[in-house]
Amino acid sequence: MTARSEKGSSTRAVHGPEVREVVQTPLTPPVYRTSTFVFDSAQQAADVFAGREPGWSYSRTDNPTAQAFADAVAALEDPSGVAVGQPFASGMAAISSTLLALCSSGSHVVAPREVYGGTWSLLTRQLARFGVETTFVDATDLEAVRAALRPETTVLWAEVLANPTMTVADLPGLSVVARDAGVPFVVDATFASPVVCRPLEHGADLVVHSATKYLGGHSDVTGGVVVGAAALLERVRTVRLDLGGALAPEEAALLTRGLATLPLRMTRQCQTAIVVAAALQTHPRVVRVDHPGLTTHRDHALAGRLFTPGLYGAVVTVTPAGGRVAGMAFVDGLRLVKRATSLGGTVSKAVHVATTTHLQLDDASLAAAGIDPGAVRVSIGLEDVEDLVADLVQALDAL
């Protein structure tokens, strides 16, 4: 059979002209919207797959755009440049891959009793089915944490700022407890971001973020990231490959864009949060306001030692008198603040905790975590502080 002098239209449609090499460095990272990559030879493919040669093979494994985002977060978390990052499709994908990488049947986890509801559910409903036990403790009591550790403990879990009580973790103290026991210390820093606190500097082995929140910052993207030492993080990456929780390149590009304004946004949101918390603290219908920027907060001094000066997070939890009914009525009375879950975006949002973010917890579990059934979590956005205070106060006045 003789070779065709011209390729058919279908072949020409599929195999277009070769992409021209870009000589100049792009100002923003390009989006590699591709599922797979072409090799120069079978041997190159073999070497890349085996790890003998750097390169890209398949975007579920690694994607340049997704990895660029993870590298950028690692640079924020560790200015020394030692830490590396791994990208994930969501914060829960990052959390689940991390725990699965560090646990096996018979493992034991120690976690805060006020841990994020999604993490609590993963530990109690999913990992428990495979023989992983969890002890939930008062993480502010270092001796209680130490006493909870067992020979089979493989993870000590903490959150920089607890959701929604805004309890501050004693990261240096917890890291000593973990190090003495030879247990990896993992910290969820979603509520803080690297602008407020960098857990690696306080002894954490791995730092987890739901990038959906402050890192992305615009409520238009879902993602997660884990940062830490390369050897430990490779175990987490292996789980990601097996479970498939890969971050899509388009999402990664949006998250990378969000990082550019993270310090500006976070600083403004934290400053506004302090003003809002102080304004609501004296309202006659309020029984409790949780924000570590308040001098009355139990962890104010600890936050001052661990956090960037003047920044205490951008979430304010307000508990009106009257329990669940009052909490839900408070949310319904808001006009400017949106009734929506998540946090970290430019628009302020509020949710009734017991019926949304912590739906998995019954009243006894809520009480053990220090959460009132009426608690309302307010994520502060970028609106003018006077407008936010006015809206929150009018909703409280109407109770």
Domain check: are 105 and 170 in the same one? yes
Q: What is the pLDDT of residue 168?
A: 98
Q: Closest by alpha carbon to 215, among 198, 195, 188?
A: 195
Q: What is the pLDDT of residue 2?
A: 60
* The pLDDT of residue 5 is above 80: no
Active site residue 60: yes
User: Does residue 43 sit within a domain?
Assistant: no
User: Does residue 204 sit within a domain?
Assistant: yes
Domain boundary among 217, 242, 260: 260
User: Does residue 332 sit within a domain?
Assistant: yes
The answer for residues whose C-beta is within 8 angstroms of residue 137's C-beta and 6 or more apart is 110, 111, 112, 113, 144, 145, 148
The answer for residues whose C-beta is within 8 angstroms of residue 309's C-beta and 6 or more apart is none
* The pLDDT of residue 360 is above 80: no
Domain check: are 227 and 92 in the same one? yes
User: Does residue 130 sit within a domain?
Assistant: yes
Q: Which of 32, 71, 78, 116 is catalytic?
A: 116
CB 181 within 8 A of CB 213: no
Map tokens 């976070």 to a residue.
Answer: 266
**Is the torsion defined by CA of 106, 208, 255, 351 positive or negative?**
positive
Backbone torsions φ then ψ of 201, nearest 5 degrees: -75, -15
* The pLDDT of residue 309 is above 90: yes
CB 334 within 8 A of CB 395: yes
Q: Which of 60, 305, 335, 339 is catalytic?
A: 60
Q: What is the pLDDT of residue 174?
A: 98
Residue 191 belongs to domain with CATH number: 3.40.640.10
The answer for residues whose C-beta is within 8 angstroms of residue 164's C-beta and 6 or more apart is 290, 315, 317, 353, 357, 358, 371, 375, 377
Domain check: are 200 and 227 in the same one? yes
Domain check: are 237 and 101 in the same one? yes
Lowest mean pLDDT among 83-92, 111-120, 347-356, 360-369: 360-369
Backbone torsions φ then ψ of 234, nearest 5 degrees: -65, -30
Integer-rounded Cα Rg, in Å, for the chain is: 23
The answer for residues whose C-beta is within 8 angstroms of residue 46's C-beta and 6 or more apart is none
Q: What is the rounded distance in angstroms from the CA atom of residue 10 to the CA atom of residue 335?
A: 56
What digits encode the pLDDT tens for the residues 96-152?
999 999 999 999 999 999 888 899 999 999 999 999 999 999 999 999 999 999 999
Domain check: are 236 and 323 in the same one? no
**Rounded mean pLDDT of 355-380?**
88
Domain check: are 208 and 345 in the same one? no
Q: Residue 28, Cβ neighbours under 10 Å: how many?
A: 10
pLDDT category at 306 given cuts 50, 70, 90 is very high
* The pLDDT of residue 191 is above 60: yes
Give how many domains the chain has, as a whole number.
2
Where helices occur in 9-79 by DSSP H, the ranges are: 9-14, 42-50, 64-77
Q: What is the pLDDT of residue 26?
A: 85
Max CA-CA distance within the chain?
Answer: 91
* pLDDT mean across residues, the chain: 95
Domain check: are 80 and 206 in the same one? yes
User: Does residue 48 sit within a domain?
Assistant: no
Q: Closest by alpha carbon to 73, among 96, 91, 48?
A: 91
Q: What is the pLDDT of residue 171?
A: 98
Lowest mean pLDDT among 128-132, 146-150, 235-239, 369-373: 369-373
**Rounded mean pLDDT of 31-50?**
94
Q: Which of 71, 170, 188, 391 is catalytic?
A: 188
Active site residue 188: yes
* The pLDDT of residue 274 is above 60: yes
Domain check: are 211 and 274 in the same one? no
* The pLDDT of residue 15 is above 90: no
Domain boundary among 215, 238, 260: 260
**Rounded mean pLDDT of 365-371?**
85
Domain with 351 in it: 262-397
pLDDT category at 6 given cuts 50, 70, 90 is confident
User: Does residue 54 sit within a domain?
Assistant: no
The percent of residues in the chain predicted with pLDDT above 70, rounded, is 99
Q: Which of 146, 198, 213, 349 is catalytic?
A: 213
* The pLDDT of residue 275 is above 80: yes
Domain boundary among 204, 229, 260: 260
What digits encode the pLDDT tens for the residues 149-174?
999 999 999 999 999 999 999 999 99
Q: Are strands 153-159 and 108-112 parallel, antiparallel or unpaired?
A: parallel
Domain check: are 211 and 360 in the same one? no
Q: Are strands 315-320 and 286-290 parallel, antiparallel or unpaired?
A: antiparallel
Q: Which two tokens stand for residue 302?
A: 């600890």
**Rounded mean pLDDT of 43-61?**
93
User: Does residue 37 sit within a domain?
Assistant: no
**Rounded mean pLDDT of 9-28?**
81
User: Does residue 317 sit within a domain?
Assistant: yes
Active site residue 47: no
Domain check: are 175 and 67 in the same one? yes
Domain check: are 137 and 155 in the same one? yes
Residue 324 belongs to domain with CATH number: 3.90.1150.10
Active site residue 33: no
**Rounded mean pLDDT of 339-358?**
94
**Rounded mean pLDDT of 340-358?**
94
pLDDT category at 3 given cuts 50, 70, 90 is low
* The pLDDT of residue 1 is above 70: no
**Rounded mean pLDDT of 65-71?**
97
Domain check: are 220 and 344 in the same one? no
**Rounded mean pLDDT of 307-320?**
98
